[in-house]
Amino acid sequence: MWKRVALYGVMLAVGAAALQWLDYQRLARAWTTEIYIGLIAAGFLALGLWLGRALFVRDPLPFDGNPQAQAALGMTPRELGVLHELAAGRSNKEIARRLGISPETVKTHLARLYERLGARRRTEAVQKARELGLIP
């Protein structure tokens, strides 16, 4: 009994494959031009994407943080870390939590940063630090 079921299953699969092949042949004859145009368009799309990436995408230069300006201002590595967190838009409590220092220490570092950069508020300090190349 199972041999008969397997034979019917194989015959059904062959018949379905034959119908699919015939349908594909009819489709390929009816839409030949459109298929070729689609293949050419896909090729040009791939070429355009590759060429655009090759011509216009540049690897960014490594950011060094302008060591000359850091030395001229006398900035410590901790103050520079606070400045980076400040530029990311974090509050004093968030900066303290991320750097593992107290909020009062953050305030002290910020006061020194404002003094060194000649700024009166956070946004002004970040703007001047970007102009000097201290932060990206």
Domain spans, the chain: 18-58, 67-132
- Six-digit token string for 130: 């970007």
Q: 42 vs 4, which has greater pLDDT? A: 42
Dihedrals phi, psi of 32, to nearest 5 degrees: -55, -50
101 burial (CB, 10 Å; 0-12 / 13-18 / 19+) is middle
- pLDDT the model gives residue 88: 93
Asked if residue 23 has pLDDT above 90, the reply is no
pLDDT in tens, 27-39: 778 888 888 899 8
Q: Could you tell me if 87 and 129 are in contact, meaning their C-beta atoms sit under 8 angstroms apart?
A: yes
Average pLDDT rounded to a whole number, residues 103-116: 94
Kindly report the pTM of this predicted structure. 0.56
Determine the average pLDDT of the residues in 75-82: 91
- What pLDDT, on a 0 to 100 scale, did the predictor assign at position 109? 94
Higher pLDDT, 84 or 21: 84
Chain length of the chain: 136
Identify the CATH class of 67-132: mainly alpha
